[in-house]
Structure 1
Amino acid sequence: MNILLELKHLKHISLPARPVICKGLLIVIALIVLRAIVTPFLAVNSSEKEGFYDSTTDLLPGIRRDKFIEVPQIIWGLNNQKIAFARACLTARFLNRSLLMPSLSASLFYKEVDLLRPITFDKVFDFTKFNARCQGFVRLARYSEVSNQTKPFKLQKGSGRRWTVEKDLDQLLQYRRGEADDSEVIEIIGKHPFLWPDHWPVKDYARIFDCLALAPEIEAEVVKVISKIREAGLKARHEAGISHNKHAKEGTVNPPVPYIAVHMRIEKDWMIHCKKWEQRSNSNEICSSKEEIIHKVSQITDLRRPVVVYLAVADSLLEDDSITSGWRVGMVAFEKKRLGVTDIYNRQPYLIKSAIDFEVCARADVFVGNSFSTFSNLVVLSRTQRLYDMGKASSCGENVGLSSYAYNVIGDDGGPQRWMTDMSDTSLQNLSYGTNNISCH
Structure 2
Amino acid sequence: MDLLKCKLLKLINCHMKPTVCKCFILLVLILVLRSLLSPFPGFSWFQQRASYMLTTSEAPNLPVVFRKVKFLEVPQIIWGLNNQKIALARACLTARFLNRTLLMPSLSASLFYKEIDLLQPITFDKLFNFEKFNSLCHGFVQLGRFSDLSNQAKPFELQKGSGRKWTKERDLDQLKQLREDQIDEFEIIRIVGKHPFLWHDHWPVKDYARIFECLVLVDEIENEAVRVISKIKEIGIKARNDLDSSKKKLSLDGSVDLPVPYIAVHMRIEKDWMIHCKKLEQRSNINQICSSKGEIMERVSNITGLQHPIVVYLAVADSLLEDDSILRGWKDVLLPYEKKSLGVWDIYQKYPYLIQSAIDYEVCSRANVFIGNSFSTFSSLIVLSRTQKLLDMGVTSSCNLDLRLASYAYNIPGASGAPKRWMTDMSASSLQSISYGTNNITC
TM class by smaller structure: 0.7 to 0.9
Instruction: After superposition, give the CA deviation of every residue in 1:316-344 in whole Å (9 maximum; x if it has no partner).
Output: 11111111111112100000111001111
Q: Distance in 2 between matches of 1:97 and 1:107?
A: 29
Letter matched to residue 65 of structure 2: P
Q: 45, 52, 60: which one pairs with 2:64?
A: 60
1:23-172 equivalent positions in 2, closer than 5 A:
49-51=58-60, 60-61=64-65, 66-148=69-151, 150-172=153-175
Letter matched to residue 335 of structure 2: V
Change (3 A) 1:340 1:178: same
1:33-432 equivalent positions in 2, closer than 5 A:
49-51=58-60, 60-61=64-65, 66-148=69-151, 150-242=153-245, 245=248, 254-432=257-435
C-alpha contact 1:83 1:194 (8 A) present in aligned 2: yes
Q: Distance in 2 between matches of 1:78 and 1:65?
A: 33
Cross-structure match for 1:433: 436
Q: Distance in 2 between matches of 1:178 and 1:195?
A: 27
For 2:304, what is the secondary structure of its paired residue? coil
Letter matched to residue 282 of structure 1: N
Alignment RMSD (CA, Å): 2.4
C-alpha contact 2:368 2:403 (8 A) present in aligned 1: no
Could you list the runs of 5+ residues in structure 1 that have no partner in the other structure? 1-14, 29-41, 54-58
Q: Distance in 2 between matches of 1:392 and 1:163?
A: 40
Distance apart, 1:393 and its partner CA: 1.0
For 2:371, what is the secondary structure of its paired residue? strand
Q: Distance in 2 between matches of 1:161 and 1:246?
A: 64
Q: Distance in 2 between matches of 1:222 and 1:233?
A: 17
Distance apart, 1:396 and its partner CA: 1.8
For 1:296, what is the secondary structure of its paired residue? helix
Distance apart, 1:303 and its partner CA: 2.2
For 1:163, what is the secondary structure of its paired residue? coil
Distance apart, 1:161 and its partner CA: 2.3
Distance apart, 1:275 and its partner CA: 1.1
For 2:394, what is the secondary structure of its paired residue? coil
Distance apart, 1:247 and its partner CA: 12
C-alpha contact 1:297 1:407 (8 A) present in aligned 2: yes
Q: Distance in 1 between matches of 2:310 and 2:178?
A: 55
Q: Distance in 2 between matches of 1:16 and 1:302?
A: 84
Change (3 A) 1:342 1:154: same
Distance apart, 1:239 and its partner CA: 1.6
Cross-structure match for 2:50: none
C-alpha contact 1:417 1:439 (8 A) present in aligned 2: no
Cross-structure match for 2:18: none
Distance apart, 1:95 and its partner CA: 0.4
Q: TM-score, normalised by structure 1?
A: 0.85
Distance apart, 1:366 and its partner CA: 0.3
Matched residue count? 393
Q: Distance in 2 between matches of 1:254 and 1:377?
A: 33
Q: TM-score, normalised by structure 2?
A: 0.84
Q: Distance in 2 between matches of 1:358 and 1:65?
A: 38
Q: Distance in 2 between matches of 1:397 and 1:191?
A: 42
Distance apart, 1:439 and its partner CA: 2.6
Instruction: After superposition, give the CA deviation of every residue in 1:12-62 in whole Å (9 maximum; x if it has no partner).
Output: xxx999xxx9xxx9xx9xxxxxxxxxxxxx976xxx634288xxxxx7216
Query: 4+ residue stretches of structure 1 with deviation over 3 A?
Result: 242-248
Identity over the aligned pairs, expressed in percent?
67
C-alpha contact 2:372 2:410 (8 A) present in aligned 1: yes
Distance apart, 1:437 and its partner CA: 1.0
C-alpha contact 2:364 2:370 (8 A) present in aligned 1: yes
Distance apart, 1:279 and its partner CA: 1.8
Q: Distance in 2 between matches of 1:288 and 1:320?
A: 14
Distance apart, 1:277 and its partner CA: 1.3
Instruction: After superposition, give the CA deviation of every residue in 1:256-295 in whole Å (9 maximum; x if it has no partner).
Output: 3110000000001111111111122222210101110000
Letter matched to residue 341 of structure 1: V
For 2:265, what is the secondary structure of its paired residue? strand
C-alpha contact 1:362 1:382 (8 A) present in aligned 2: yes
Distance apart, 1:155 and its partner CA: 1.4
Q: Distance in 2 between matches of 1:244 and 1:85?
A: 47
Q: Distance in 1 between matches of 2:215 and 2:187?
A: 26
Q: Distance in 1 between matches of 2:429 and 2:157?
A: 29
Change (3 A) 1:78 1:422: same
For 2:420, what is the secondary structure of its paired residue? strand
C-alpha contact 2:90 2:196 (8 A) present in aligned 1: no
Instruction: After superposition, give the CA deviation of every residue in 1:165-197 in whole Å (9 maximum; x if it has no partner).
Output: 111111111111222110111111113232101
